Homo-oligomer: A and B are copies of this chain.
Amino acid sequence: MLGARRLLGALRFCSSVPCPKPRTSAKLRVREALGVLDASGERVTVQGWIRSVRSQKEVLFLHVNDGSSLESLQVVADSSLDSRELGFGSSVEVQGQLVKSQAKKQNVELKAEKIEVIGNCETKVFPIKYKERHPLEFLRQYPHLRCRTNALGSILRVRSEATAAIHSYFKDNGFVHIHTPVITSNDCEGAGELFQVEPSSKIKVPEENFFNVPAFLTVSGQLHLEVMAGAFTQVFTFGPTFRAENSQSRRHLAEFYMVEAEISFLESLQDLMQVMEDLFKAATVMVLSNCSEDVELCHKFVAPGHRDRLEHMLKNNFLIISYTEAVEILNQASQNFTFTPKWGVDLQTEHEKYLVKHCGDIPVFVINYPLALKPFYMRENEDDPQQTVAAVDLLVPGIGELYGGSLREERYHILEQRLARSGLTEAYQWYLDLRRFGSVPHGGFGMGFERYLQCVLGVNNIKDVIPFPRFTHSCVL
């Protein structure tokens, strides 16, 4: 241990030597400028893009935004300044004095001494128009420019903050982060249609693969996480997953992000659900506290009324019902369903919607699904005459399934039998190994990250919460 400490010592010594700083002291981000409490004429430089220009008799008001916050910095300049180039969308550098603002809306403003236009904006052909609130559908046509609007700016800042919050949650709770592979030779999980991967320049000979075996884009990092949970006890991954499904729905993408965790020495669904609920609430609290303005924008303009819905989810304990109870509830419903609910058959979107409504718009865990509906790795409930597995889905208002999880079958012989029945024994010998060498009861879950963002922000279409959406017939940029 001394060695690493010595290294640190050496570095601390080195850092007393004048070190290059990434930014000169006078240059401020807009967020930093807005945060100055007692502005008293400090000379600063701010760079950003013009969001509005307003000319009065003797003064010119600009709003400059650099994406560090939703709010722009008000710049006040002498109207004698040539304002022809100071158009909406142009990039500028403003030097001046930071002073207390007269206006109620902001604490500080920048009294400009010099404004330099860095890059003009051809506003006539710029698809984003001054003072217009463009619908999200319209903006989707411009994946390279839509991030410059308030709405997408806020959504993507929230996405960044939520990413950090999720990483923090797991780190603080002793989980080791694992990069599970994107390219995988596992194709038998049945989680959905797969994308296959091949070198593009290769003359395609089916017998000869780049990897010697057919390779696919991952649909889940679960099996790889199980490997790691056998060494680190608590592990998580947060990466891209893929489905080659022909779907244009508002809840599906061909490429989306999943947060997955796996926990060893975990013996009950109850314990698993506690982590799931805790993660949801802890991450959301962090996002609300670090991005309040951005969340507020969505709750005000994108999804009016969603604030109360989210508050309702956060302040109530999530509910738990069994699959069997769910089917009973559906059978007793006065509503007519397109698909008649029946024990042994998968729940449909319409069923999920009804169940959440029935539960008073509180997120609800549905547990213990029929064994026949679920993949080989889910743990069989030993005392259930109905042949169920310890699986759990979390249904949330407006979205449906947000999480899926289960206890995993840790008993060698039971797992071996189930693999044999599916003809998978050979392919999953390595997975059986995990049960031969110090097996432990364990379980895990996956949460769709885009659906999580939809749920927090109330954004209706999943394509608006990811920077560059990929779906059938669309892979722009």
Contact = CB atoms under 8 A, between A and B. Distances in A.
Given A311-B6, A410-B119, A430 B144 contact: yes
Contacts of A50: 438
For chain A, which range describes its interface: under 10, 10 to 19, 20 to 34, or 35 or more residues?
35 or more
Given A197-B196, A198-B196, A224-B477, A299 B3 contact: yes
Interface of A: 1, 3-8, 10-11, 13-14, 17, 19-22, 29, 31, 47-50, 66-68, 89-91, 93, 118-122, 125-126, 143-145, 147-148, 152-153, 156-157, 159-160, 163-164, 167, 171, 173-174, 176-187, 193-202, 210-217, 223-224, 227-228, 230-233, 239-240, 242, 244, 254-255, 257, 264-265, 271, 274-275, 277-278, 281, 285, 288-289, 291-293, 295-296, 299-300, 307, 310-311, 314-317, 410, 430-431, 433-441, 466-468, 470, 472-477
30 contacts: A1-B293, A4-B292, A6-B307, A7-B288, A7-B307, A7-B310, A8-B292, A14-B316, A19-B278, A22-B271, A47-B264, A91-B438, A120-B438, A122-B437, A147-B227, A147-B228, A156-B232, A167-B167, A178-B467, A181-B470, A182-B242, A183-B254, A193-B200, A195-B200, A196-B197, A196-B198, A199-B244, A211-B254, A211-B472, A212-B473
A193 B199 contact: yes
A1 B50 CA distance: 23
Given A231-B67, A314-B10, A211 B164 contact: no
A428 B136 CA distance: 24
Contacts of A126: 436-437
A406 B267 CA distance: 52
Given A29-B174, A119-B438, A181-B255, A11 B314 contact: yes
A125 B240 contact: no
A439 B29 contact: no
Nearest to A12: B285
